[in-house]
A and B are shown apart, each in its own frame.
Chain A
């Protein structure tokens, strides 16, 4: 199995996750999308030194992992390439911000280190929430939810067609890669000098497909606007889900929960 085929397999696995049955899967995509957006907004809004505050936001992915039955390990596995990128963004913080911010057991910890950890945690939580969204809501339901949010039809169409054709494109890449390796035995990957023609071929094939696809759309009455994709009506549970999490997120953001808990014990 080459890399492209592995990517295709991973995509198939993601599809299978959306077909699971759990209380979270049964909620409307719109409510899940809104809760995820709110979660990301609130998470990134925490101050750069507010590590405990951001840590409390882990409650949402924790509850979702428990309710949906989706494996946390799978999530970490899927995020393995993204986490280092998030870490790269804040990697220099400890070098630039050296002022000691707190001391733990006599060891002073700099503001840069705390801000780095906060950033890393924020990134991981946002990635987790996004992963949970796409593994509990089907793509067509998400597109319908985006249209309900009045996201322009063109963007939703591009998003939907990209998802539909990513597997076709990946299959094409897999075939081309296999064809290349059959005539270039012993080579690891595709030689640098072949990349131009390889990508050129891929582009030409993609354009051919795009033209034929557009013709197929025109032949069935496409006039620039996709028909209404809405199908899931928001149910009571979805509304309760949305409102409950909105209240929890706002409470976590504006009430210092760790401090409140600490005071309870101090008394």
Chain B
């Protein structure tokens, strides 16, 4: 008992001592913890709070609605269509393969497409939605929406995507949009952060590309709270962006459609211009392509067939295509000669069918010769020798200067892709370009629009418009922006004497209406719409002396791609010009036979603002014209873009 007492006392004092020591040590550690809390939560709270904000609050951009594009009458040319699509998010789906398999029971997704989706899902972060199927019908879309609860991670979404209701008709002028590529980004200094949104679409060609800044609009911003995986949890604030500017073009849908249809089957381009203000009413290049295919992502087979077509559907022949203008260039040479005074209005030149310069023989197209011709007759009959002679006296540099005044060999400022500059050659130009001296033969070739001269259909249209109006009209495509008219600057006078212009116009009237006119068959018989024009046939091959000796092979015996280009430029009404048309049919053989009748139809359509009346044609042609019109597959703009048809 005593021992126990003693033991207990020893134990008690030991435990009390040690217990107190432990208590003090624990209190000390608790003190350290408290100090640490104080430091982190009170002293450094602001720093940590800043870090937390950055952690969880992100700025997300709201893509603006792209500006719409209308024609001059308010017909929609490029719109934004509601696009029903289905996306899948790896993070939420869990077993992606199983969910995708279930989804494919509801939607037709090909094996290839499914494999693509799987690759994309693996490439993207887990929270990023990947599009499985696009452009679904309402039925398909609602089928997915109804079954969504059974499909984790699958979400039916509605977005906007670009749509071109008129398809091929405006493909070249409007261009198309497509997702931003790395190349696009590298081309832009300081790119809009919008462009970094995956699959954001920007204009790739045409008006869509040139007016990109205007059409795109300004992005809005959303402040969102995200989780550690980057997934949005809720929206904290929102600032709406500004939609893109709506553009109204100078184009006329029905005229464009008519020109397009009328040229179908050819490889051709046509430009219709208002000579008073430069408005481009139609600018077409055939064959064309469906820009909607590019927006949706064109299949490689479709793309290959476009690339391999020898009629080059992807090329815009109207502004980008350059051709020797042939005899249409005689308008320039004639004006240059008249202004230089090397020939008077009534002076004549004798055409024996050829001239000989420096031991070389230059032939007129009419080997028997035209006899004595003045300016008007030379245009009417398209006598080459007349121009060979006067050009030598004027000199190439003055002809070139005149061409540029008339709009040939200068780059016109149009919001379209790859607008070509063309060539109105000078001595210096040849020296610089080829390092060779200018030869007199070059002047002779240039005088009739061959040799080095190259012009686009747009430039020829400008040339005719300037001749017809006597003013330096400039082509324009944008009529109004968001309803605000783009002012048309008063065109400057050309600075050419009216008498000379009138002389050339008379020559062009004679081409169509004169007794010997090269385009006599393309006459308009209604006197108030009397047409003036000029044919052109430009060689795409050299005719050697040996070949000439054997007899020149006629065009229809040649393979298509070696035949001559057929050109025709015209304006009407002749006494009070309103519209000008320039037209080229690649390898169309003859300006008078192929190009002139088509140009006349287009010009009449513009004048009549609808299908030309048969009374405008010579009575002998009316039957043929009627059947030609009946064969056309014209589209009424009022029925386009109203849902049912555009989706089909």
Q: Is B truly associated with A?
A: no
Chain A residues engaging chain B, CB cutoff 8 angstroms: none
